[in-house]
Chains A and B, each alone.
Chain A
Amino acid sequence: MWIVTARSPFATVLPNIVLLLVGLVVFVAIIVLIFVLSERTKEKTQNRLKYFVFLGPALLLLIIGLIYPAIRTLYLSFFDARSENFIGLQNYIWAFTQPEILIVLRNTLIWTIVVPIASTTIGLAIAYLTDRMKYAGLVKSLIFMPMAISFVGASIIWKFVYAYQPDPNKEDIGLLSAIFKAIGLTPPNWLLEAPLNTFLLIAVMVWIQTGFAMVVLSAAMKAVPDDIIEASMLDGAKGWARFTRITIPMIWGSVIVVLTTITVTSLKVFDIIRTMTGGNFQTSVIANEMYQQSFRALNYGTGSALAMILFLGVLPLIIFNVRQVRKEREVH
């Protein structure tokens, strides 16, 4: 269709811009119109109207966009690929017995353990190192910057770091291979080598999430009252002892929030795997496999079951996280 209707690649620009402008103008016009009309109605009508205007759109979006689809996905997960025959728990049994999917589940588990621990530890270290540092702002900005970069962009950055040179007579263009050769080691074909490749992908996520951990923990450290630090100094607590006995317990709540938040992010990771390996070479995780099953294999049954498994994994973490955040707020 596209090839027939558009000769120049730029032929679709105009209709697309028109659609964008129409979309925005219509949206704003509707809102202005509703306000103008509503303000002219009688007070009694208004008191009922206000619920529809202010609450209606959001509720409609939530029901159609989240509640209905969640129920429907649960329903589809008990049906076969084309959603025609009820097959009970077959899709779930498939997920927990199929060797490829077991690898997927194992990888997801590795992600959700390694990424939060590594990111939080490094983030905590940097937060502490820079707590009294002079140009801390610059250092922190550099470490935080990956957080602004998309997972796709980050994946390309790191794919370049992991670039492998198969021809021994040619120079390396990948930084990691070059470092390996410089210290006299033979670099492996990084992204093809399981289980090493999973950890290389995990490194990308750690690179991104460390900045998040650092910012939250740094703010938490700044909130530790100065008199506590001073009292500990009078008691003779130094360096490491003060870090483990004073700082860590004081910010423990924030550490937990950071850990769970990063765990949820890692549990749902998709972009990095999609971009770097496409889930090949035993690197796939649940979110990627869900996409693969639903939109490549076109099996809505297994895809929905994987989505449900993801949901069941996320659920307790978010509940825990929310309770922790509320506890934190009560303290402060």
Chain B
Amino acid sequence: MTAIEEIAPVNLTPARTKSKGMRLTSRKQNNIFGSPIASFFAIVIALVWTIPTFGLFISSIRTPADINNTGWWTFFTNPSFTLENYNTVLFEGSSVTPPLSLYFLNSFAITIPATVFPVVIATFAAYALAWFDFKGRDLLFYTIFAMQVIPLQLALIPLLQLFANGLKIGDATLLPPLGITGTYIPIWIAHTMFAMPIAIFLLHNFLSQIPRELMEAARVDGADAFKTFRMVVLPLSIPAIASFAIFQFLWVWNDLLVGLTFGGGKREIAPLMVRLAELTGTRGGDWELLTAGAFVSIIVPVAVFFALQRYFVRGLLAGSVKG
């Protein structure tokens, strides 16, 4: 779990790992901040930070009666244990109020394509912007980079209208109504669009650092732009792609706004976050459902977090200005 320490800020480039292992012996405990008092404070803060999540978890495994009548901390003096809440929230429901397992499935069905699509398309664009020689290349790159300033709120209404009604200028139909509203497709496309500026920027940073000799060598060997991409660029950029993919996966998984608006309010395609936000509003008092439901939604990102902490932090730092 020491991975966090090794990651340099706001940078996806591999060169930054040089600071790794720089914690020399001279940095010993030589002031009050290296002392047990400092450690004590740090541990207290860490505990305070963890208690709310811990309380939610404890509550999710208590019986509904216990959750609603006594504080979760009484669990330690009067323990009760049940998985019933998880069973109820995940599998019980009707066609009007579908069980959470369906939304869980929707979240995956939304998140996987909404990660794969932008990663592939942005890698293509980053490659072109880094290695094709054409007029206005830098201008184009900086324009794309500057598009990060557009908050996704700015795109919501026109994009929704576009998906629903197509695009007409005067009498000329530029784009017919697509008939995709109410499926996953608008959500996939919207996430892919909103990811573009940051994804292209980050991947460009990485791809432009591939040694020029390597690209030249590929060309001398007779590889064209497509082959070079396949044989040289793609294999080398896997770490950068992985970092961005993890960030994008978590961003989409945790997203509420895009799912809420581009899902068109349809339950059969709504992701987990949309349902949880809805449950919190309407069923504010059903803590047995909310605690278990929230925990289900947390499991995936937290598992990703602990398993891939190094990539996760790197992707998160780099992409934290997104949206």
Contacts and interface: CB of A to CB of B under 8 A. Distances in A.
B113 A171 contact: no
Contacts of A139: 42-43, 45-46
A13 to B, nearest CB: 7
A61 B132 CA distance: 20
Contact of B321 (A35, A215, A261): A261
B280 A156 contact: yes
Most buried by B among A2, A61, A76: A61
Interface stretch (A4-12, A86-94, A101-109, A110-118): A4-12
B22 A222 contact: yes
Contacts of A8: 95
B72 interface: yes
A145 B276 CA distance: 20
Contact of A239 (B33, B45, B185, B197): B33
B5 A216 contact: no
B261 A295 contact: yes
Interface string A205-236: 00100101001101110110010011001000
B217 interface: no
Contact of B10 (A53, A144, A146, A328): A328
Interface in B229-273: 229-230, 250, 253-257, 260-261, 266-269, 273
Contacts of A189: none
Nearest to B229: A54
Contacts of B50: 142, 145
Contacts, number: 403
A54 B193 contact: no
Contacts of B151: 268, 287, 307, 310-311, 314
Given A238-B31, A294-B157, A145 B53 contact: yes
B28 interface: yes
Nearest to B291: A160
Interface of B: 1-5, 7-11, 19, 22-24, 26-34, 38-39, 41-43, 45-47, 49-53, 55-56, 59, 67-73, 93-96, 98-99, 102, 105-106, 109, 112-113, 116-117, 120-122, 124-125, 127-129, 132, 134, 144-145, 147-151, 153-159, 162, 183-185, 188-190, 192-194, 196-197, 200, 224-227, 229-230, 250, 253-257, 260-261, 266-269, 273, 276-277, 280-281, 284, 287, 290-291, 293-294, 297-298, 301-302, 304-306, 309, 312-313, 316-317, 320-321, 323
14 contacts: A23-B113, A54-B132, A57-B121, A61-B121, A76-B158, A140-B1, A144-B313, A152-B273, A173-B67, A212-B316, A291-B153, A303-B157, A311-B153, A318-B148
Given A20-B112, A287-B153, 16 more contacts: A57-B121, A61-B192, A70-B150, A70-B154, A72-B157, A129-B42, A130-B42, A132-B27, A152-B294, A156-B291, A207-B52, A218-B4, A264-B321, A287-B151, A304-B157, A310-B154
